[in-house]
Chains A and B, each alone.
Chain A
């Protein structure tokens, strides 16, 4: 009898999980990508970082098969930290083309009134530029970055 109740509980829980409402981006086909928000207290060592981070978000939206443009659902990144490699590390990797950055921030989804629908912490230590890696075997494939891949994963999770 106890086993019956356990099985019943498991099936009810899994059914509830299966039928639970989707994320904030469920049924959203179009999204507006707003400029990156940079707080004065943010630690950013690259002037192009806000644009670069926004580009990564736009690319992730595209790879999630969503349209980018005017939409009541809006997304942006709040950038707290953007740091590049130290000059010593850069010199050590010279010629390899490998470039590593640390990005700390939040992916924020808002509605048309600016009400926050979701906020996801982002921490990436990897590439932000869209070149192929230093491995010759990767040449010619769709170029991507580690930050874009992380943002894509979060967007998929919100659907």
Chain B
């Protein structure tokens, strides 16, 4: 009888250790097509792997490559890694150390360091006619309440540009010659976070709320970015899994 109790206790302890070994963790990196272990190349001082392969070999698998730690893991599960190929992502999952595979519980597009490290923003609503004009004031109120960024009136001195518009961003903030003359039908409110030096779209999303609810759309878009930034700095996987919002698992820029 004593032996049976001892065995039961041992079983419980062992299962606990096993569960601990496979606990959910947060992994960050870039989704690339395998095989793992390829030598990364340095482009513009940044380590990278050729992540998208035009004609992958049969059986090729997706990997998560972390340029900081230079580690690679196979990734599998939902959402499918294929739609995130070439993107910087945050993965919540369990690592099977015997196969070097992460089983995905949740995965979403990571934010560039330029966003997470920024301290000031410029709000650009220069293509905001009619009902879209409320976007500027709403954005100002939301960012003030958030308290994360200083709102700078000089776009050249701000770390980021928050562009609000009724048309998708064309990536031409720096190169654009003259005003955006595209006609605006205020059906969709677009928000794009742009690098003021390069004009690169660092993050973007949109809401199709019509012209009477532009303020609501702006509020939601900033809230979405705030959530994403909180997730990015989160170290507790359970906290990330708890958060549910529409764009979390969608890899596209939203434009």
The B109-154 residues at the A interface (CB cut-off 8 A) are 123-137, 140-141, 144-145, 151-154
Contacts of B152 in A (CB 8 A): 58
- Which residues of chain B are near A98, meaning CB under 8 Å? 133
Kindly state the separation between the CA atoms of A96 and B133 in the bound complex, as whole angstroms. Answer: 8
How would you classify the secondary structure of chain A's contact residues: helix, strand, loop or mixed? loop
Given contacts A95-B211, A131-B135, contact A51 B126 (CB under 8 A): no
Taking the complex as formed, is B26 at the interface, i.e. its CB lies under 8 A from any CB of chain A? no
A-binding segment of B61-69, B179-187, B197-205: B179-187
Residues facing B in A79-120 (CB within 8 A) are 94-99
Q: Would you call B212 and A139 a contact (CB within 8 A)? A: no
User: Which residues of B lie under 8 Å from residue A135 when comparing CB positions?
Assistant: 129
Q: How many A-B residue pairs have CB under 8 A?
A: 91
| Distance in Å: Cβ of A139 to nearest Cβ of chain B | 5
Q: Is A140 an interface residue (CB 8 A)?
A: yes
The minimal Cβ–Cβ distance linking A156 to chain B, given in whole angstroms, is 17
B54 at the interface (CB under 8 A from A): no
Scan residues 123-139 of chain A and give those whose CB is less than 8 A from a CB of chain B. Answer: 129-136, 138-139
Q: Is the CB of A59 within 8 A of B134?
A: no
Cβ-defined partner of A130 (8 Å) among B123, B145, B184: B123
Which residue of the partner chain, among B130, B135, B153, B181, contacts A59 with CB atoms under 8 Å?
B153
| B126 and A99 contacting across the interface, CB-CB below 8 Å | no
Q: How long is the Cα–Cα vector from A99 to B144 in the complex, in angstroms?
A: 19
Chain A residues within an 8 Å CB radius of B3: none
B126, B130, B141: the one within 8 Å of A142 (CB): B126
Which of B125, B144, B212 lies in contact with A132, CB distance below 8 A? B125
Of chain B, the residue at the smallest CB distance from A69 is B157
Q: Which of chain B's residues has its CB closest to A148's CB?
A: B153
A16 within 8 Å of B (CB atoms): no
- Give the CA-CA distance A138 to B179 in the complex, in Å: 9
A-binding residues in B (CB < 8 A): 123-137, 140-141, 144-145, 151-154, 178-181, 184, 211-212
Q: A48-B144, A138-B129, A139-B179 are in contact. List 10 more A-B contacts (CB 8 A).
A: A48-B141, A48-B145, A58-B152, A58-B153, A62-B153, A132-B127, A134-B130, A135-B129, A136-B184, A139-B184
